[in-house]
Amino acid sequence: MQALPPPWPEGAPGTVTALVGPRRRRYPLGVPFRPTEPFVPAPGLASPHAQTIYGSLVRPTHTPPIRRERWDTPDEDFVDLDVLEGPKGAPHVVVLHGLEGSSRAGYVAAVVRGAAERGWGVTAVNFRSCSGELNRTPRFYHSGDTADALTVLRRLRERVDGPLYAVGFSLGASVLCGLLAETGDAAPVDGAVSISCPYDLSVCSPAIDGPGFFAWVYRERFLRKLRRKALEKLERFPDAFDRKRLVAARSLKEFDEVVTAPIHGYRDADDYYRRASSGPRLGAIRRPTLLISSKDDPMVPPPGVPAHAADNRFLSVLVTEKGGHVGFVAGQLHAPRFWAEAQALVYLEQVRAGAHRP
């Protein structure tokens, strides 16, 4: 079994405040994940908004040469993938991006580079209409839409002869956790990492729709992209949803009420939030999975990771005091280091060594 780094003392600067929840003795056959270093925000980036915004702006997007592949889906649509082949028998990591991200997002690129440095293969998934080309059918993607990700993982499971892992960010983490819960013992991956997941959509959506300058910044950034794609969709499918209500939407919930819910078979936004949230289903996960979150995430109000996650021996919970939403920027302003992506790959290395197998 791979040796683990020593635990960091409680109360140390930047210390992780919860590693596997309050019931550590529920992991008698596995090993709680210990990060190789505590998360300490880069100087000047202590606030959650600084972490969130700076992290989204400064993450480099370069990767080793990758190949774009288009895979048809069972409903005659497609998903675009960016693929970096690994050597025969090497681990392969599937990466799922967040709301209105893509395979070119900086946090995805960080995982691609880290995997490539280890000699691993990578497949970065673009959810429908996120690769730069509108998809063919009325549907888009959403936090509970596991079908495309599951299709990709099952096909890769047949194609890759080494361990298969998955890392999800934000919305992609919600999709990943939902997928793992749905498939249970039949999950097509050997290990997974969830970063900044909105485990309860009914509290995360109001956080983004709430008052204040930064909530407005996040909301407008998402809505501007979502509204543009939805209007393009109406050019092809004029009856898909109500154009006037779409144009008038000024909150994520209004967008979900007008677009997300009706075209994906939900009664309304509240029904979507209830049925698509992955948090209530974490107990069904049966693969070693690391849940990384920060207490100050501006889009995921406390408690963030549901308390009952500690009851599942397959889950390791890593909660930091600071970090924002998909931030976790350490190091220095002029030389940032991206802690969550690095720890995700360390965890998967340990899964490969058998350290987190209940």
Which residues are annotated as catalytic?
A: 170, 297, 325
Rounded to an integer, what distance in angstroms lies between the CA atom of residue 103 and that of residue 82? 7
CB atoms within 10 A of CB 62: 9
Six-digit token string for 124: 């970065």
The CA-based dihedral angle spanning residues 92, 146, 346, 34, taken in that order and rounded to the nearest 10 degrees = -150
DSSP conformation letters of 104-160: TSHHHHHHHHHHHHTT-EEEEEEPTT-SSS--SSS----TT--HHHHHHHHHHHHH-
Q: Which residue, among 342, 306, 305, 332, has the nearest Cα to 5 in the 3D structure?
A: 342
Buried-exposed string 307-331: b where 16+ CB fall within 10 A, e elsewhere: eebbebbbbbbbbbbbbbbbbbbbe
Buried-exposed string 263-297: b where 16+ CB fall within 10 A, e elsewhere: bbebeebbebbeebbbbebbebbbbbbbbbbbbbb
CB atoms within 10 A of CB 171: 25
131: Cα separation from own chain's centroid: 17
The secondary structure of residue 288, as a DSSP letter, is -
